[in-house]
Structure 1
Amino acid sequence: MRLVYSASTHGSSSISKKQPSSMANGVREPMVLLAAPPLHEVVFSQALRGLLFDAFHAALDPVARKRQHEGGSLAVVALASTVASQALTSVLQNATELSNLTTYLGLFPEFTQTLSSLQNITLLAPTNQAFSAFLNSSAGAALVQNDTSLIQALFSYHVLKGTYTDFENGAFIQTLLQPPQYTNVTGGQVVGVFNENNNTSFYSGLLANASVTGSPMNFSGGVVHMIDSVLIIPQNVSETAIQLNLTAAAGALTSASLVETADHLTDVTVFVPNNAAFAAIGSALPNLTMEQLTSILQYHVIQGVVGYSTGLQNGTSLMTVQGNNVTITVDDTGVFVNSAKVIVADVLVANGVVHVIDNVLNPNNATATANPDAQESGSPAFSGASSASDVPFTTGVPTPTSSIASESAPGATAASSSSSSGGASMPMKTGAIEAAALFGAAALAMNM
């Protein structure tokens, strides 16, 4: 029996399987047409078979063995080059699990062409199942409503700067989602990396997680990793607070008319007290003047430093927007800011990062320090305050669609996995630039 490859008129190939002719009746059995593998697999298979034949021949012939030693490494390099030189579009089209992604990219030919021309990138490619789940969520409304600007921003957020075959735990990797539209993070919005039990996950806005599935696929400009969920573009501070049930903080920002400030500052680290923290000082809040409330809230914001947990060092002093400093303490029990403990780290937002803390900070008690030996965090910054039965500042605040865990993330370097994209709303634009400039600037930066 022999295999014969034949190309169709459309450029695809097929395999013909021919049986030996029947000598008894003189009738030759008909040829059976079978589906062929993609052309690049055929090239790979033939080249590999040739290398194996050469190796076997060299083992028997000393002269041939010398020739094989001199030229074999070049053949392997050439073979690898053939496979790796595939265009991105070809790799995606050959992956049946990514047909939905291929379809949507096909709706944006200029975007896809630019993406295919980039070098040194990593594409996080949602599988068909991931796309289906996303389309059935509120966050997937952009695809259903054909919001061109947001769709391209979403695709840009799935492209990492750099070629990554594996990932370092706790890393924050910049993407091609660039300022000023949908993000105010210098250098581009990031995704977080969390490795556990030999599995790699990425977390994005609203703590949404996506795990790597399958093996990496090389292409001429980098590598593709399939993921089982669509990443969520990080939203602004106020919307993130509402969505994750940090409603007291969201209401306090509204009461102090600081929503616009919190949402539009560039490169921020925000320490957001949870609802229990605000309730714990409930007796002190009604007596605050607007100036005092503003000062307290500004004391929770650092501008000019996006302090992901991996970058928070023990003993670091950071100046807040209010003007006074906060002190970072890092030990075996966790991360503290003054006397408050970080209970959920690295919540990505449009203009930086949020760390959820278990106490409200007080600019008039900046010397309050952490007490790692206590079961709770250090002494409350508001001495004499007592708790309230109701959560303050929540009147009129929209009902959250999800919530965050009260425990700290593993190692205080990765966000909680208690949230998914199911209840996520659409991210808000942070600037007024046209969508074309969003990806164009990223493409220019990647190819300089």
Structure 2
Amino acid sequence: MKLYRVVFATLSVVGFCLAADQDVLTILKQQSDISTFIGILEQFDDLVNILNQGTFSVLVPNNEALAAFTNDNPELSNDTNAVRALLEYHIANGTHPSATFGLQPLFVPTLLTNPNYTNVTGGQVVEFAAVNNRSTVVTGVRATSQLVEADIFYLGGLIHVIDSVLTIPISFPATITKAGLTDLVALLNKGGFLTPSSPAVNIVNSLSDLTVFGPNSSQYSASFTGWNGLDNTDLLSILQYSISKGPVLYSSEFKNDTKIPTLDGIPATMYEVDGQFYVDTSLITTRDFLTSNGVLQILDSPMNPNTTGQLPLSSPGSHSGSGSKGLSTAAAAGIGIAIGALILGGALGVALYLRIKRRRRNNFSELGGGQTRDPPPRYELDTKGITEGAVNARELPRSHTFQIEHPVKPPSPLEIDGQERSRISVTIHGSPPRHLGFQARF
């Protein structure tokens, strides 16, 4: 089926190159049920010129779609900047025949670069996908617009008529609220991340090209206690570890064993297991909520900077059908191996300690001629006056020599032949001291 669509897409492009020789307004006016869009586009001559001079895919809401949008947003009709931004978001770069939708994840930048509406480098994107085998455009809060008439070629690109107006992606806080991600909202409120004074609000609203990984699970909602006792610094670290800044990581960029830089400074790792993608140990359950400054990827559990680089425990299909919550076979085997390694390591440590102790004892024995080594020898102090005939202290010479010798018996273990080899002479000038301290080291 995919091969057929690729061939068809190729033939469509060839046909476009051969047949598209009229400007965009001429081709649009030949179509039915899109007159409202034509009237809006004609108000912006520069956009018409851009369309005729470049290569684009123009996504044209039909009259019914624009009527419904106007009823829901009456204030926009008098806001020229808002109308222009909406038009720009309906013009995607490059030619993308409908047959290519859904062949692989495809996120295409549009002409919308107005900083009041987007903070994504290169322009806010739309996703070209296939939903229920129908070519579909996915936009903000994962709103879908289906093609009702496709592949109308003009000089410079092609036109797709769609059944609803595209939704320009909004901020991260507004997205999670409007998309009904109630568990994620509750968890962020519990962490204090959505209060106006929180640094988190400034991060997710002001930085460009963000990829936010957030859990939306009842297990991690208002009743979650895993963050209890953490201070604001720890909580902010968890949030920053859950955010990557540029380039935006759409699902088209998912790859196994990919390092993801985070605002916390510690990289996370993406893994692919049985066609499912994980960030560290957290499974990505819903992909690609486009936001005004990037994308939100939904997880089954919060990310944790203390588990960075850990592998997923098991693939989603490896759990038994009985619903048992016990350890998987792989996990049990891993624990058994770990315990065995600890026991073996402990035994080796004890054996090594005993061996070193025995070796030291043998070394002392060898130094002492087969006996345990004696303590270091003690030395005696022998004093001699230079003038032997002095009678009283006044006649003592002002210079004395102190000879320090080891006793003759017992001999030092290092001098077992009894021969004296150590002598230290100390000469002191002046009156003899009452005490003399001496310390020798070997």
Task: Determine the structure 1 residue equivalent to 2:23.
Answer: 87
Distance 1:82 1:143 in 2: 39
Task: Determine the structure 2 residue equivalent to 1:283.
Answer: 225
Contact 1:242 1:250 in 2 (8 A): no
Contact 1:216 1:224 in 2 (8 A): yes
Distance 2:212 2:144 in 1: 21
Amino acid at match of 1:135: T
Contact 2:217 2:301 in 1 (8 A): no
* 1:293–1:364 Cα change, 3 Å: same
Contact 2:187 2:222 in 1 (8 A): no
Distance 1:89 1:228 in 2: 20
Task: Determine the structure 2 residue equivalent to 1:159.
Answer: 91
Question: Which digits, 9 at most, give the CA deviation of each residue in 1:313-351, with x for residues without a partner?
Answer: 111121210111211111225111111111110111111
Structure with bigger RCO (C-alpha 8 Å, 6+ apart): 1
Distance 1:272 1:216 in 2: 37
Task: Determine the structure 2 residue equivalent to 1:110.
Answer: 45
* 1:82–1:266 Cα change, 3 Å: closer
Distance 2:309 2:55 in 1: 47
Amino acid at match of 1:335: F
Distance 2:237 2:119 in 1: 23
* 1:350–1:253 Cα change, 3 Å: same
Task: Determine the structure 2 residue equivalent to 1:136.
Answer: 71
**Structure 2 counterpart of 1:336, from 278, 287, 291:** 278
**Structure 1 counterpart of 2:258, from 296, 299, 316:** 316
Contact 1:276 1:358 in 2 (8 A): no
Task: Determine the structure 2 residue equivalent to 1:273.
Answer: 215
Distance 2:76 2:220 in 1: 38
Question: 1:357, CA displacement in angstroms?
Answer: 0.6
Aligned residues: 297
Distance 1:131 1:284 in 2: 47
* 1:212–1:283 Cα change, 3 Å: same
Point out the more displaced range, 162-171 or 244-253.
244-253
1:30-429 matched pairs, under 5 angstroms: 84-106=20-42, 108-137=43-72, 140-141=73-74, 143-144=76-77, 146-166=78-98, 167-169=100-102, 170-178=105-113, 180-196=115-131, 198-246=133-181, 247-248=185-186, 250-251=188-189, 252-255=192-195, 256-279=198-221, 282-370=224-312, 371-372=314-315, 373-374=318-319
Question: 1:109, CA displacement in angstroms?
Answer: 3.4
Contact 1:308 1:346 in 2 (8 A): yes
| Identity, % of aligned positions | 30
Contact 1:142 1:151 in 2 (8 A): no
Distance 1:162 1:81 in 2: 13
User: How large is the RMSD of aligned CA atoms in angstroms?
Assistant: 2.7
Amino acid at match of 1:262: V
What secondary structure, in the 3-state scheme, does the structure 1 residue paired with 2:168 have?
Answer: coil
Contact 2:108 2:127 in 1 (8 A): yes
Distance 2:222 2:188 in 1: 17
Question: 1:281, CA displacement in angstroms?
Answer: 7.0
Scaled by the length of structure 2, what TM-score is found? 0.62
Question: 1:82, CA displacement in angstroms?
Answer: 9.8
Contact 1:272 1:356 in 2 (8 A): yes
Contact 1:214 1:226 in 2 (8 A): yes
Question: 1:122, CA displacement in angstroms?
Answer: 1.1
Distance 1:94 1:261 in 2: 48
* 1:142–1:186 Cα change, 3 Å: farther
Contact 1:241 1:250 in 2 (8 A): no
Task: Determine the structure 2 residue equivalent to 1:36.
Answer: none
Amino acid at match of 1:156: E
Task: Determine the structure 1 residue equivalent to 2:413.
Answer: none
Question: 1:86, CA displacement in angstroms?
Answer: 1.9
Distance 1:327 1:280 in 2: 27
What secondary structure, in the 3-state scheme, does the structure 1 residue paired with 2:228 have?
Answer: helix
Contact 1:241 1:249 in 2 (8 A): no
Distance 2:86 2:129 in 1: 21
Distance 2:45 2:137 in 1: 27
Task: Determine the structure 1 residue equivalent to 2:363.
Answer: none
Amino acid at match of 2:186: A
Contact 1:165 1:216 in 2 (8 A): yes
Distance 2:240 2:166 in 1: 30
Distance 1:263 1:236 in 2: 6
Distance 2:275 2:56 in 1: 37
Question: 1:262, CA displacement in angstroms?
Answer: 0.9
Amino acid at match of 1:248: A
Task: Determine the structure 2 residue equivalent to 1:400.
Answer: none
Question: Which digits, 9 at most, give the CA deviation of each residue in 1:376-417, with x for residues without a partner?
Answer: 99x9xxxxxxxxxxxxxxxxxxxxxxxxxxxxxxxxxxxxxx
Distance 1:335 1:369 in 2: 11
Contact 2:285 2:298 in 1 (8 A): yes
Task: Determine the structure 1 residue equivalent to 2:10.
Answer: none
